[in-house]
Chain A
Amino acid sequence: MKMVRAQQLSYEYIKTVEKDGVTTEQKLQALKNVNISVEKGEFVAVLGHNGSGKSTFAKHINALLCPTGGTLWVKEMDTKNEELVWDIRQSAGMVFQNPDNQLVATVVEEDIAFGPENLGIESSEIRKRVDDALEQVRMTEFATFTPSKLSGGQKQRIAIAGVLAMKPDCIVLDEPTAMLDPIGRREVMETVHRLNREEGITIILITHYMDEAVRADRVYVIDDGDVVLNGTPKEVFSNVEALKGYGLDVPQVTEVAYLLRREGIPIPADILTVEEMVGALCQLRSTI
């Protein structure tokens, strides 16, 4: 069973524009026939520059938007089916960019309880889930803190815990680190990877940062509402020129490898980490 499957998924925003007293409807095609499929337990990164349609895609997985064309299934549940909306939202949780604008309650544990409370779960079970979720994001000692006293990274981990308490199979994170400092970014990325590894939770990470995508199992690149590249990080990042064409950078070492290759130095194109680079360079020296 596929965790998430999009087939010819399209979405049009309808904007009303007022010009010279005349209101006209403008259509904006944010997604064009997108085909994506995510296996259970996979870690998928979605890349794309500003306005390419990443958030629009993310909101479809959570049934916050309904496709205007094509279909998206979450665990074989069609998101167009209104009766399944709550099941879909429980199965595929969502973490947003701004840590401040997604926490509801004045106390950390109350906020984590918000999701399960909405699902109508019994109070003793909610208590257990909240404690487990706090433990999973390593925030147990902050249970009774107020969110406004926490750092950005801690707030994002609370947001993740809030999703975990709903026992999801999949978590969609829409640029969760965009507003964080380097320490906060590391905290959040470690948490997400641990959940994927240890709990087997499917992760769909939407990001701007190439080095966050390097550790994914699979990378999708969206440009102007279209999936233009997809494959393992090695496959995708070796297309340095194509990526630059879509307004994206590549990880720093990949860029160095690309420049070296252009100078005629025989080095693999799919280098993603510093260690790989060191290995490749040492090998090169031993062959000379």
Chain B
Amino acid sequence: MIRDITIGQYYPVASPIHRLDARVKLAITFIYIVTLFFVDSFIGYFFVMLSLGAVIASSKVPLRFMLRGIKSIMVIIVFTMIINLFTTKGETLLLEIGFLRITWEGVAVALKMSIRLVFLIVGSSVLTLTTTPIHLTDGIESILKPFSKIGVPSHEIAMMMTIALRFIPTLLDETDKIMKAQQARGADFDTGTLKEKAQSLIPILVPLFISAFRRAEELATAMEARCYHGGENRTRMHVVSIGRRDFVAFAVTAVYVCIIFLLRHAAEIVPFWI
């Protein structure tokens, strides 16, 4: 069950989206997320859906991989929906049960909020599914580099992410092994009250932490032995360069942003249910 956690969910196919520079993809994803908060009409969301669909189609990643992320936040989506449904103040009453009032406006807000969340997740899935973890961390490092003057440890952050990604499978394997070992000695992780379940985790976490610290120390020694001395004077095997297709991607994004704002403007003159 612990194996189901998928991190670094890169989907390896050759597509124009895959070939884009990681920094460009990071920047575009950021712009996409920000503009998502400016969309407030159903027409707007329809346009976002069309654009997202076009990007997904050209990424050649099967749709079900893109939608997988939604499942894990289903609870949050439903929760947001319920809250918005009951707390939004509106004019046009839909039904009233006791003190609970549901208005048409409430329904619209609830729908819009959950659509927004879904687009948020699917949009960031496009980034992680089409970019290898290495390119992602390298991209983050070079985006943060200008900020290192004001004390942002860009190289260290990227290095930490790389090492975390490298050791997640190792530590998951180890957790599995420890759990099996404890189960062989009669440990029970599945039944009992919440408190008992939490307590049964202690014999897993303690050895896991001890081993993680030992690993960290050995890894630090091994890195030092390979002349690691931080980001200074360090070169990289893969040098990234921004090409023509990256400019095209930015141009398309610019058009997208313009349309989003035009639609927002339009939304002011049409009723809320559009």
In this assembly, does B6 line the interface, its C-beta being within 8 Å of a C-beta of chain A? no
Chain A nearest CB, measured from B110 CB (Å): 40
**Contacting pair B219 A104 (CB below 8 A):** yes
**Contacting pair B170 A115 (CB below 8 A):** no
Question: A102-B218, A118-B229 known; A123 and B224 CB under 8 Å?
Answer: no
**Contacting pair B162 A90 (CB below 8 A):** no
Question: A100-B215, A101-B218, A105-B134 known; A89 and B236 CB under 8 Å?
Answer: no
Chain B nearest CB, measured from A27 CB (Å): 22
In this assembly, does A119 line the interface, its C-beta being within 8 Å of a C-beta of chain B? yes
Docked CA distance A149–B8 (Å): 14
**Contacting pair B226 A163 (CB below 8 A):** yes
Docked CA distance A127–B238 (Å): 8
Chain A nearest CB, measured from B168 CB (Å): 9
In this assembly, does B206 line the interface, its C-beta being within 8 Å of a C-beta of chain A? no
Dominant SS at the B interface?
Answer: helix
**B-contacting 9-mer, from A106-114, A192-200, A238-246, A255-263:** A106-114
Docked CA distance A118–B229 (Å): 7
Chain B residues positioned under 8 Å from A94 (CB to CB): 222, 225
**Contacting pair B226 A118 (CB below 8 A):** yes
Chain B residues positioned under 8 Å from A90 (CB to CB): 227
In this assembly, does A137 line the interface, its C-beta being within 8 Å of a C-beta of chain B? no
**Contacting pair A117 B225 (CB below 8 A):** no
**Contacting pair A106 B224 (CB below 8 A):** no
Chain B residues positioned under 8 Å from A147 (CB to CB): 166
In this assembly, does B72 line the interface, its C-beta being within 8 Å of a C-beta of chain A? no
Chain B residues positioned under 8 Å from A163 (CB to CB): 226
Question: A104-B162, A147-B166 known; A118 and B219 CB under 8 Å?
Answer: no
* Closest A residue, CB atoms, query B216: A101
In this assembly, does B44 line the interface, its C-beta being within 8 Å of a C-beta of chain A? no
Q: What is the total number of residues of chain A having a CB less than 8 Å from a CB of chain B?
A: 40
* Closest A residue, CB atoms, query B164: A106
In this assembly, does B133 line the interface, its C-beta being within 8 Å of a C-beta of chain A? yes
Kindly identify which residue among B162, B215, B224, B229 contacts A105, using a CB–CB cutoff of 8 Å. Answer: B162
In this assembly, does B239 line the interface, its C-beta being within 8 Å of a C-beta of chain A? yes
Chain A residues positioned under 8 Å from B215 (CB to CB): 98, 100-101
* Closest A residue, CB atoms, query B173: A148
In this assembly, does A145 line the interface, its C-beta being within 8 Å of a C-beta of chain B? no
Within 8 A of A (CB), among B200-220: 214-215, 218-219
Question: A104-B219, A105-B134 known; A114 and B228 CB under 8 Å?
Answer: yes
Docked CA distance A127–B229 (Å): 21
Docked CA distance A114–B159 (Å): 11
Docked CA distance A109–B134 (Å): 11
**Contacting pair A126 B225 (CB below 8 A):** no
**Contacting pair B8 A117 (CB below 8 A):** no
Docked CA distance A105–B239 (Å): 16
Within 8 A of A (CB), among B90-131: none
**Contacting pair A62 B225 (CB below 8 A):** yes
Docked CA distance A276–B92 (Å): 100
A62-B225, A102-B219, A115-B227 provided; 17 other pairs, C-beta below 8 A?
A64-B221, A64-B224, A89-B224, A90-B227, A96-B225, A101-B214, A101-B219, A104-B166, A105-B134, A105-B162, A105-B166, A106-B166, A107-B132, A115-B226, A118-B228, A118-B234, A162-B226
Which 9 residue pairs of A and B lie closest in terms of their CB atoms, listed nearest first?
A: A102-B222, A101-B218, A148-B169, A113-B237, A118-B227, A94-B225, A126-B237, A115-B226, A120-B233
| Interchain residue pairs with CB less than 8 A apart (18) | A62-B225, A86-B227, A93-B225, A98-B218, A101-B222, A104-B162, A104-B222, A106-B133, A106-B165, A117-B235, A117-B236, A118-B226, A118-B227, A118-B228, A120-B235, A122-B235, A148-B173, A162-B226
